[in-house]
Amino acid sequence: MSQEEDSLTKNVRLRLGFADQLREVTVTTPKDEPRPWDADSALTVVGQPTPRVEGSLKASGAAVYTHDVRLPGMLYAAILRSPHACATLEHLDVAAALAQPGVVAAVPLAKVGDRLRFAGHDVAALAARSRDEARAALSAIAVRYRPEPFVVDTLEAMQPGAPQVHAAAVSERRTEGDEPGEASGGAARGNVRLGPSQSKGDHKKGLRQAKVTHSATYTTQVHTHSALETHSLVVRWEDPRRMTVWCSTQGIFSVRDEMAEIFGLKPADVRVITEHLGGGFGAKFGASAPGSRLGYAAGELARRAGAPVSLCLDRREEQLCTGNRPDSIQQVTLGAGADGALTAIHVVAHGSGGIATGAGVGRSAFGVYSRCPNIKVESHDVFTNAGPSTAFRAPGHPQGAFAIELAIDELAQKMGRDPLALRLAHVEHAVRRYQLELGRERFQWAARRAEAEARRARGARIRHGVGVACSIWGDYGRAKAAVVTVSVGRDGAIFVRNGAQDLGTGIRTVLGQVVAEVLGRPLAEVTVLIGDSELGPSVGSGGSQTTSSVAPAARNAAEMVRAQLAELAARLLDRPISELSWGTDGSARAGRRSLPFRELCQKIEGEAVVASATRPKTYGAHPMRYPGGDNYQIAGVQFAAVELDTWTGELRAAEILAIHECGRTHNPLTARSQVQGGVLLGVSYALMEARVIDRRFGQVLNPNLESYKIAGARDLPAIDVVFCEVHTGANSTGAVGIGEPATIPTAASIACAALHAIGRPVRSLPITPDRVLAALAGQDGA
Amino acid sequence: MSQSSAILLSLTLNGEPVQVAAPAHWTLLEVLRYKLDLIGSKQGCDKGDCGACTVQIDGLPALACLTLAALADGRSVTTVEALGCGPVVHPLLDAFDRHDAAQCGFCTPGILMAAESLLRRSARPVTRHEAASALAGNLCRCTGYTKILDAVVDASERLRAEHDDGR
Ligand code: FES
Ligand code: FES
């Protein structure tokens, strides 16, 4: 370490680790960082299950979402979309639409000669006084298409001679929802392009050494985000150089930058407000998905009309154009020695994100069973004439976990080994090992496996199955990205300000808890203001990075405010600052004298004591890195119990045990909600959801919430959530993310349990009754 | 749409008499959201699939997006806004808050209206199964329903206890 660096850093001794595996560790932090919270920190607000501060607002219907913004003179926009899977635009004239009742402005979104690459591609937009006037006027737009050959099926698109989806190289649009480092960019051959790959050792050699091998193909379906609030934005020009945008987004600042770029404005002159948003799950970064120009449409219509414009997609548009989780076709080959040790893992994956990239399969195969010496994972993007993929809660991971975990179980079956024991033999990560062992006891693995096998042996109609799968994710908490401002006023009012949006994870509450903890005040006295770009730079809510980017910054700012208050108190009490201590009620104490918080605040010179702070990069004391980077690796495991009706083929998830970690759990109440939601999303993905697209016509057959099946309250398994708290020493509060890991292993664990119940694998998601019946009838893979 | 196709509706809305003119083809949800600016009832799909628009008509849950506004004429319509404005916090809202039953909150108004109707019509505390059946038409993409059911069952027990105390 250079001397200069040395003078800017300090070493602190912390107690880090988890459960009974705690140890003293020296961590190097920047000099001005507070001592990071560790296992010895006795906290009273952070770590308590705390109802979200905006809970009553949401429950009373008073929370305002972008859909709900109503401004004087506001117009409503509608978009004309191409009905063809692929077509060249031959003629477009929006003028006639302007003569329709109520219509105020119209803009083309495509040019004559453009190739419109999927059914649903933007063509033109207009704004009218009411929603139905806008929609009715769309038919007055003069438009002519020349249909082109297209391909929507992933396998067909891979064939030589398939219609070419993109004529030129595809530029990748990265969002904060994508995993850092996942960019691909290999050259395309036909519609196929090499995507992110990972490799270590020599998988070919590993396979040659193997005594037992297993090789099979696993497929997963296209999965749509289906957030309940559709993509929406409202644009109001304040003057020709400044605009305000209300947007249903998980990235306020990415929308700001995008709008500034589109309209040639300074980012500071674009204000973006997201008070509440009705779900995003990764699809709501920037104003729109690839192949879509929602930001331009709303902004340009508002400019031409000289009035605010509200653009809220309808459900059909939402399902077609705003994103999805790509499908996958994964060839998995495993090899093991006579002793059962894995010698090689090889995965060749193809998937289609429609016209977009992003079909990688995550890091499960590469990172979880890291004792295997030879691993190669190759992902490929296959372009098709279908709606674009966008980041979706742990991009790539659920599909990757499904294939590798089910393959591991099949290998275990072949070798006559217990699948949990096989996992334990190959997992290095201490937390994940602990979680697997914890789950084995808590889920009564051995007893339930035996019971299920006995049922199967005696030919019971209702069979049981038990499975387990792992998740891997990285902590993407970002340095210097979020600036949190904390102020304490003369009246004792405490404010926390930051431009983050609340995706529904409860970040408002966590910010309040952290500041209440530092200042020793009740949470009710802290007002948290977020959801507005004017409140200070922040991060997008993707990659499970919000809490770990924002909470440490809030602590750091609150500590600075407390230091200023301490100086003031020392002066008032006429004691050196070193003698000063803080009561748990926020009062300052020195010797026998004490000064209550309110009295102290009254003595503040000026209006308030204010401090802004950010967080430095992760200190780097983490025991196990995420493969391919220097990020903390987040471990999780889920156990599933399924019930199978052998007469109908219906498979039900009966119970899920989800064991996860999010570093220090700041708010167990909302963190638990995150996990429960992630699990049910996984159940729904495993058993029900599938976008269906007609091969001959290139049309999505279920762009709705009716025939695109989503799990409802009746489909809910019993979900047992266990947090394994890890003292990470990664940042000043010890937060790491949880949103994405919670949904990664669910479908995989259900598929493994299905194998256990049926005796044969169902190698395609979703696991529907027809596939189950086929497997029961003896078809491998179904 | 031309003015000539407008109709005049008279209904009781959250206990107050309301007269409103709207195009004859508008749904109740459109009248609520785009005429009266009552934005609590959400528009998740506009075709009866998600339940986000659930209101009560004469005390029974109804999908406002599938109800022609004209059909609400002369009837009593209750929206989520009515639940939140009583002098004491409604036990259902309180339970949703304590149990953390709302994440993004977009499905919450519809779920509350379906649940409130169930609880009001039930002579005894409801079971989880009954709550799940009553909410089968309400999708939630965030919570995984566990806490929604916890909250509904909890509120129903408290309402019963209050009712029994009152006797
Ligand atoms: S908006 Fe009425 S059911 Fe979805
Ligand atoms: S809380 Fe988001 S949809 Fe239910």
Same domain, B71 and B106: no
Determine what percent of chain A is predicted with pLDDT higher than 70: 96
Interchain contact, A228 vs B97, CB within 8 Å: no
Domain check: are B96 and B46 in the same one? Answer: no
Q: Residue B14: give the domain boundaries.
A: 3-79
The pLDDT assigned to B3 comes to 45
Residue B68 contacts A where some CB pair is shorter than 8 Å: no
Strand residue runs (E) in A632-765: 633-645, 651-660, 718-723, 726-727
Contact status of B41 with chain A (Cβ, < 8 Å): yes
> Would you call A315 and B145 a contact, using CB atoms and an 8 Å cutoff?
no
B79, B106, B121: which is the final residue of a domain?
Answer: B79
**Ligand sitting nearest the alpha carbon of B67:** 1
Among partner residues B39, B79, B93, which is closest to A64 by beta-carbon distance?
A: B39
* A106 has a pLDDT exceeding 90: yes
CA A727 to chain centre: 23
Q: What is the pLDDT of residues A425-442, one digit of tens each?
A: 999 999 999 999 999 999
Chain A positions touching B3 (Cβ under 8 A) are none
Whole-angstrom distance, CA of residue A278 vs CA of residue A300: 25
Average pLDDT over residues A8-17: 92
Give the pLDDT confidence score for residue A587 in this predicted structure.
87
Do A131 and B30 make contact, defined as CB atoms within 8 angstroms?
Answer: yes
pLDDT band at A286 (very low <50, low <70, confident <90, very high): confident
CB contact under 8 A, B132 and A677: no
Range name among A5-14, A58-67, A739-748 with the lowest pLDDT average: A5-14
Residue nearest to atom 4 of ligand 2 (CA): B140
* Structure confidence at residue A180 as a pLDDT band (50, 70, 90): low
* CATH number reported for the structural domain that contains residue B97 in this entry: 1.10.150.120
Q: Atom of ligand 1 at shortest distance to CA of B137?
A: 3
Low pLDDT (below 50) residues in chain B: 1-4
Looking from the CA of A141 toward its CB, the CA atoms found within 13 Å total: 28
Domain map (residue ranges) of chain A: 66-150+226-321, 387-475+622-776, 477-613
For residue range A155-171, what is the model confidence (pLDDT) as tens digits?
A: 999 999 999 999 887 76
| Mean pLDDT score of chain A | 93
Q: Confidence band (pLDDT; 50, 70, 90) for A582? A: confident
Arch. (CATH architecture) of A477-613:
2-Layer Sandwich (3.30)
Q: Do domains A66-150+226-321 and A387-475+622-776 have the same CATH topology?
A: yes
- Angstrom distance (rounded) from CA B83 to CA B65: 20
| A104 has a pLDDT exceeding 70 | yes
pLDDT at position A699 is 98
Phi, psi of A768 (to 5 degrees): -95, 165
For the stretch A619-653, what's the b/e string if a residue is b when 16 or more beta carbons lie within 10 angstroms of its beta carbon? bebbbbebbbeebbbbbbbbbbbbbbebeebebeb
The mean per-residue pLDDT over the stretch A129-152 comes to 97
Measure in Å the smallest separation between the Cα of B86 and chain A Cα atoms: 11
B111 lines ligand 1 (CB under 6 A): no
Residue A49's nearest CA partner among A379, A609, A510, A389 is A510
Residue from B28, B31, B33, B46 to probe ligand 1 pocket by mutation (most atoms less than 8 Å from CB):
B46
Identify all chain A residues contacting B23, using CB atoms and an 8 Å cutoff: 132
Which protein residue has the closest C-alpha to ligand 2 atom 3? B140
Residue A174 is classified by DSSP as -
Percent of chain A residues topping a pLDDT of 90? 81
> Confidence class of residue A186 from pLDDT cuts 50, 70 and 90?
low
The whole-model pTM stands at 0.96
Last residue of a domain, one of B27, B50, B79: B79
Query: For residue B86, is it within any domain?
Result: no
The reply to whether residue B146 touches residue A281, judged by beta carbons under 8 angstroms, is no
Please give the class, per CATH, of domain A66-150+226-321: alpha beta
Q: Does domain A387-475+622-776 have CATH number 3.30.365.10?
A: yes
B141:A676 CB<8 A: no
Q: Number of A:B CB contacts under 8 A?
A: 191
- Per-residue pLDDT tens digits for A470-516: 999 988 888 888 999 999 999 999 999 999 998 777 899 999 999 99
Nearest to A226 among B85, B92, B141 (CB): B141
Question: Do the domain assignments include residue B85?
Answer: no
- The confidence score (pLDDT) of residue A1 equals 43
Question: Are the CB atoms for A746 and B144 separated by under 8 Å?
Answer: no
Residues B72 and B103 in one domain: no
How do residues A217-243 score in pLDDT, each as one tens digit? 999 999 999 999 999 999 999 999 999
Q: Give the residue-averaged pLDDT of A324-353.
A: 97
Q: Give chain B's domain count.
A: 2
CATH number at residue B31: 3.10.20.30
Assigned domain for B74 exists: yes
Rg over CA atoms, chain B: 16
Residues B154 and B100 in one domain: yes
Q: For tokens 């953390």, name the residue.
A: B100
The DSSP call for residue A559 is H
> Which range among A407-411, A776-780, B70-74, B92-96 shows the weakest confidence by mean pLDDT?
A776-780
Check whether residue B73 and residue B9 sit in a common domain.
yes
- Name the residue of B31, B32, B39, B50 to mutate for ligand 1: max ligand atoms within 8 A of Cβ: B50
Would an 8 Å CB–CB cutoff place B151 in contact with chain A? no
> Distance between CA A662 and CA A18 in Å, rounded?
11
Instruction: Give Cα separations from A86 to A117, A149, A444, A699, A781 (angstroms).
Output: 5, 7, 54, 11, 33
At A141-155, the pLDDT tens digits run 999 999 999 999 999
Mutation choice for B interface testing from A50, A60, A507, A708 by most B CBs within 10 A: A60
Q: Is the CB of B93 under 6 A from ligand 1?
A: no
- Quote the CA–CA distance of A325 and A111 in Å, as a whole number: 29
B167–chain A nearest CA distance, Å: 29
Token readout for B58 is 């004469």
State the alpha helices, DSSP H only, in A188-280.
203-209, 252-263
Choose from B32, B83, B133, B142 for mutation: most chain A CBs within 10 A.
B142
Query: What ipTM does this complex have?
Result: 0.96
Atom of ligand 2 nearest to the CA of B102: 1
Cα separation, A57 vs B89, whole angstroms: 12
User: % helix / strand / coil in chain A, to the nearest 5?
Assistant: 30, 25, 45
Digit-coded pLDDT (tens) for A600-637: 999 999 999 999 999 998 886 565 677 766 778 899 99
- The answer to whether the CB of A99 falls within 8 A of the CB of A63 is no
Domain boundary among B79, B110, B129: B79
Neighboring chain A residues of B138 at a CB cutoff of 8 Å: 712-713
Q: Output the six-digit token pair for A713.
A: 């309250």
Contact B96, B112 (CB under 8 A): yes
Within a domain: B48: yes
Residue A595 has pLDDT above 60, yes or no: yes
Q: Is residue B116 in a domain?
A: yes
Q: How far apart are CA A206 and CA A374, in angstroms?
A: 6
Which pLDDT band, with edges at 50, 70 and 90, does A291 fall under?
confident
How high is the pLDDT of residue A174?
63
pLDDT in tens, A542-570: 766 788 899 999 999 999 999 999 999 99
- Residue A346: pLDDT band (50, 70, 90) is very high
